[in-house]
Amino acid sequence: MKYDFTAIEKKWQQKWKEANAFHAVTGDATRPKFYGMVEFPYPSGNGLHVGHARPYTAMDVVARKKRMDGYNVLFPIGFDAFGLPTENFAIKNHIHPAIVTERNIKTFTSQLEMLGYSFDWDRVVDTTDPGYYKWTQWIFLQLFKHGLAYKTSMPVNWCTSCKCVLANEEVVNGVCERCGSEVVRKEKSQWMLKITEYAQKLIDGLDSVDYIDRVKTQQKNWIGRSTGAEVNFQTTEGDVLTVYTTRCDTLFGATYMVIAPEHAYVEKWKDKLTNYDEVAAYVRKAASKSDFERTELAKEKTGVRLEGVRAVNPVNGKEIPIFISDYVLATYGTGAIMAVPAHDTRDFEFAQVFGLPIIQVVASADGALVDLSKEAFTDVATGVMVNSGFITGLSVEEAKAAMIEYLEKNNIGHAKVNYKLRDWVFSRQRYWGEPIPIVKCDKCGYVALPESELPLLLPDVESYETTDDGESPLSAMTDWVNTTCPCCGGPAKRETDTMPQWAGSSWYFLRYMDPKNPDALASKEALDYWGQVDWYNGGMEHTTLHLLYSRFWNNFLHDIGVVPYAEPYYKRTSHGMILGEGGEKMSKSRGNVVNPNDIIDEYGADTMRTYIMFIGDFAKAAAWSSKAVAGCKRFLDRVWNLQEQCGQDDAYSPANEAAIHKAIKKVNEDIEAMKFNTAIATLMALTNDFYANGCTKGDVKALITMLSPVAPHLCEEMWENLGYAAEGMICQQKWPEYDESKTVAATVEVAIQVSGKLRASIQAPAEIDDAGVVALAMEDNRIQKQSEGKNLVKQIVVRGKDKKIKLVNLIFQ
């Protein structure tokens, strides 16, 4: 019988559909629930990429396995369809983006179906569907009503090519993440979301979830919590200049201060500065620099001394100069620092350039002064304070505490926590996104649209292009823009910016629970039943963007009582990239892109699935190998051919029994731990055993049951061919049971070491005791050779998890 994968795969995809086999039942109390999720794709015109197939297949295997374990599984899919590529395609080809989106979704859907994924197709969400974005807008209004959405004029990242504002997260190495063009700073009025308000919650929440460590540390670093103090410096002009420092212990070593070029005091002190022209010139120059120039290119420290104003060090009363320099950021802390060149690398460099005094206040552990001629001394672990008045002699940690106490007592400062995290720039001057449901009234200011008017539909426009002055295409639609104020009834204008692509993906996991609900983002019943996403797998590149944003929204929704859990995802894992055949990134220009459709045509979806799971460690990058794909097809052929040569017995054959029980255990554990490659290796080895030993129908039944999450179509067909159709489809079967006692054969192989070196390997009865196995080992002639003329002084007997002896180590002297 030939393995006609094309016909088989079509047949079973149809049967699963007819049987509604992967339907998730909201409210089913008879089974435990399992909610597994993959990142929904952006439906680009290029179609599905092999990069999608890896995480999707992995979660599909997990979902299928969980069903076999008796869970009520929710494994949904959807489309994150707003966004630039579609819009750019629409502009170029004069097609409405909605039509492009619909077409792309169709292509993606057929490709996903071809791969045999067990999604619940009744729960598909599409972020561009008004029934969906109604609730995206609704959540925005809740954020607005709770003061977490605000509009402000600020310098933003402006992509010169996309003519669009970018979030900090979308700027990579000074260029636009999407198109690679230069990003400059531009003053614009923008909607912002106060994610900073949730900085601490987003750190604390990580303690209650099971994310891989890489994700946790990256999120923590991104949020960038630091603890320190704010310190007030009096100035000779009677102002108070407040700085933030993490090293208040070094206050006695502060020999000058620096404020950011954007600091308000530059203007405030305008009349008092004798060199204001020079200062103003520096401020202008700093403002015109892009972030890229300000960081990457400006290695050498620059700045201007503010002549005419000086500050007073609050702990020793010394007058110190004040500078402006672009190495101090306006957006962090107070935009001003106290500079301690002896113990901060950047301050040290600046002091070198300007010839400023360097006073050592931290010495090495033994109290000896350190050489400061070349670099700052920044060791905080062992340092001891010197030249520091009342904190002299304390360790750095003790000094920090003592100093904060002193500052607070004397009212010149206090402990303070700061975060690197910035608020989220939420406006885009583009067409293909959710309209922001706000109107601006001259009398009432920014007013929320009544919730009854949601969804605020995206109107049709003549042109999808951003206007020349960088405004949204919607701004040209005067009919739409001009409206009345919901508050006072007077004339008002609609907001013309749209939301960023991250909006729709920040809550889609909630919509899957109840995707068609017109009255709420999801019913309380559905939210309570499905709770958290139990397992969410996705790319590392989303760690500081999508993953953080969606945690923020969900935390907020929890705070206002909409969802039952603060944290949306219980477990987060991440997959490695699929590289091209030569180990390089797949790209059109390199011509090494693998199209899943081609693999399916040549070998079938089951081979594609098996290979993509077998390719290597799931968490690591892996290079495509067409040879290895053929190897996986060979494996499936070998499995297929077993059905014609196996015996008719339903029981396991004695020759394979132990291996089968071991495999059941191993594959079970491996799937749970995402070690798909070794799970498949185990099944390959088992298949090899079947060929070597012969096998029964029962043996094959066990094999295909275990293989079915990975290669479902083939296994369904074999299941039917072997005559098990009456028991239902294989995807509805229970995972086979294993018996620990049967995983061991009657005799075991025991490795015999002498002083830790392997010298022999002997067969021993499985039930032998320690003394018996040592005696047996001593009889072996290879061991006798090693022990000649010596006495046995020590023996170590090692047993495996199954309590059977694995290894004996003998020490002779």
Partner RNA sequence: GCCGGUGUGAUGGAAUGGUAGACGUGACGGACUCAAAAUCCGUUGGUGGCGACACCGGGCGACACCGUGUGGGUUCGAGUCCCACCACCGGCACCA
Which residues in 599-618 contact RNA (CB under 7 A)?
Answer: 614-617
Write the DSSP symbol of residue 295: I
| Contact pick of 10, 11, 558, 638 for RNA (by CB under 7 A) | 638
**Alpha-carbon distance 787 to 754, whole Å?**
9
Interaction with RNA in 546-605: which residues (CB under 7 A)? none
Which long-range CB contacts under 8 A does 455-464 form with residues at least 24 apart?
Answer: 455/130, 455/131, 455/133, 455/134, 455/137, 456/137, 456/494, 457/130, 458/431, 458/432, 458/434, 458/498, 460/96, 461/431, 463/91, 464/87, 464/90, 464/91, 464/97, 464/431, 464/432
Q: Are 553 and 506 in contact (CB under 8 A)?
A: yes
- Residues 186, 272, 420, 493: which binds RNA (CB under 7 A)? 420
Among 64, 301, 511, 575, binds RNA (CB under 7 A): 301
To RNA, the closest distance from the beta carbon of 23 in angstroms equals: 34
Nearest alpha-carbon partner for 774 in 800, 799, 738, 810: 810
628 near RNA, judged by CB under 7 A: yes
**Which of 147, 238, 756, 789 touches RNA (CB under 7 A)?**
756
Query: Shortest Cβ distance from residue 779 to RNA (Å)?
Result: 14
Q: DSSP E strands: which ranges in 194-259?
A: 210-211, 226-235, 240-245, 256-259
Q: Give min distance, CB of 496 to RNA, in A.
A: 30
Name residues contacting RNA, limited to 321-380 (CB under 7 A): 326-329, 332-333, 335, 337, 344, 346, 349
Residues in 474-493 that interact with RNA by CB under 7 A: none
Based on the shown chain and the rule CB under 7 A, indicate whether residue 222 belongs to the binding site for RNA. Answer: yes
**Smallest gap, in angstroms, from Cβ of residue 74 to RNA?**
29
Shortest Cβ 328–RNA spacing (Å): 4
- C-beta of 56: minimal distance to RNA in Å? 19
Return the number of the residue (224 or 459) whose C-beta is nearest RNA: 224
* Closest CB to RNA among residues 201, 638: 638
- CA distance between the termini of the chain: 64
Per-position x/- string for 18-37, each x denoting binding to RNA as judged by CB under 7 A, each - no binding: --------------------
Instruction: Please state the separation of Cα 100 from the chain's center in Å.
Output: 29
Scanning residues 115 to 174, which ones bind RNA (CB under 7 A)? Answer: 168, 172
- Which of 164, 260, 273, 315 touches RNA by CB under 7 A? 260
Query: 72 has which bridge partners?
Result: 33
Annotate each residue in 686-715 with x if it binds RNA (CB under 7 A) or - if it does not, as one string: --x--xx-----------------------
Give whole-number Cα distances, 764 to 806, 810, 812, in Å: 10, 17, 22
Taking each continuous run of H as one helix and of E as one strand, the counts in the chain are: 25, 32
Among 109, 226, 232, 643, binds RNA (CB under 7 A): 226
Q: Phi and psi for 596 in degrees, rounded to 5?
A: -55, -35
Q: Residue 638 and residue 695: Cα distance in Å, rounded?
A: 13
Residue number with CB closer to RNA (372 or 685): 685
Contact mark string toward RNA, 520..549, x via CB under 7 A: --------------------xx--x-----
Q: How far is the CB of 746 from RNA (least distance, A)?
A: 15
Per CB under 7 A, which region of 85-93, 429-437, 502-510, 679-687 contacts RNA?
679-687
Q: How far is the CB of 765 from RNA (least distance, A)?
A: 15
Q: What are φ and ψ of residue 572, in 5° steps?
A: -130, 125
Copy the structure tokens of residue 608: 């594609």
Q: How many CA atoms lie within 13 A of 406 on its CB side?
A: 17
Minimum distance, C-beta of residue 331 to RNA, in the bound complex (Å): 7
Stretch 717-736 residues interacting with RNA (CB under 7 A): none
As measured in angstroms, the least distance from the Cβ of 83 to RNA is: 20
- Which residue number, 196 or 395, has a Cβ lying nearer to RNA? 196
Q: Tell me the C-alpha distance between 176 and 166, whole Å.
A: 8
Contacts 24+ apart (CB under 8 A), 729-734: 729/15, 729/16, 729/19, 729/21, 730/704, 730/705, 731/16, 731/21, 731/22, 731/64, 731/67, 731/68, 731/118, 732/21, 732/67, 733/68, 733/705, 733/708, 734/68, 734/69, 734/70
Query: Which residue from 25, 402, 447, 751 is in contact with RNA, where contact means CB under 7 A?
Result: 751
CA–CA gap between residue 310 and residue 323 (Å, rounded): 9
668 touching RNA, by CB under 7 A: no
Q: How far apart are CA 395 and CA 787, in angstroms?
A: 59
Q: Which is nearer to RNA, 284 or 634 (CB)?
A: 634
Tokens 């003790």 belong to residue: 398
User: In the complex with RNA, which residue's Cβ is closer, 100 or 399?
Assistant: 399
Site for RNA in 641-660 (CB under 7 A): 641
410 or 755: CB nearest RNA: 755
Query: Which of 361, 586, 622, 715 forms a contact with RNA (CB under 7 A)?
Result: 622
Stretch that binds RNA, among 197-205, 509-517, 678-686, 707-715 (CB under 7 A): 678-686
Q: One-letter amino acid identity for 225?
A: R
Per rule CB under 7 A, count of chain residues that contact RNA: 87
Which member of 2, 94, 588, 757 binds RNA (CB under 7 A)?
Answer: 757
Tell whether residue 807 is a contact of RNA (CB under 7 A). Answer: yes
**Residues listed for the chain:** 813
Is residue 217 a contact residue for RNA (CB under 7 A)?
yes
Task: Work out which of 391, 632, 714, 764 binds RNA, going by CB under 7 A.
Answer: 632
Residue 185 engages RNA in binding (rule: CB under 7 A):
no
Q: Which stretch binds RNA (CB under 7 A): 29-37, 199-207, 495-503, 781-789?
A: 781-789
- Is the Cβ of residue 643 or residue 677 nearer to RNA in the bound state? 677
Distance CA 614, CA 532 (A): 30
The torsion angles phi and psi of 172, rounded to 5 degrees, stand at: -120, 120
Q: Which is nearer to RNA, 489 or 765 (CB)?
A: 765
Contact status: 213 vs RNA (CB under 7 A): yes
Q: Using CB under 7 A, pick the residue from 256, 323, 535, 635 that binds RNA.
A: 635
CA 682 vs. chain centroid, Å, equals: 30
- Of residues 127 and 682, the one with the C-beta less far from RNA: 682
* Ramachandran sector of residue 714 (left: φ over 0; alpha: ψ -120 to 50; beta: rest): alpha
Burial class (CB in 10 A: 0-12, 13-18, 19+), 501: buried
In the complex with RNA, which residue's Cβ is closer, 99 or 172?
172
Least Å from the CB of residue 57 to RNA:
16
Q: Which of 57, 127, 137, 753 binds RNA (CB under 7 A)?
A: 753
% helix / strand / coil in the chain, to the nearest 5? 40, 20, 40
Q: Which of 2, 374, 409, 801 binds RNA (CB under 7 A)?
A: 801
- Report the alpha-carbon distance of residue 395 to residue 250 in Å, rounded: 11
| 620 lies in the binding site for RNA (CB under 7 A) | yes
Report residue 332 as tokens: 């962090």
* DSSP track, 62-109: HHHHHHHTT-EEE---EE---SHHHHHHHHHHT--HHHHHHHHHHHHH
From candidates 436, 663, 680, 700, binder to RNA by CB under 7 A: 680
Retrieve residue 128's tokens: 């561009």
Is 228 a residue that touches RNA (CB under 7 A)? Answer: yes
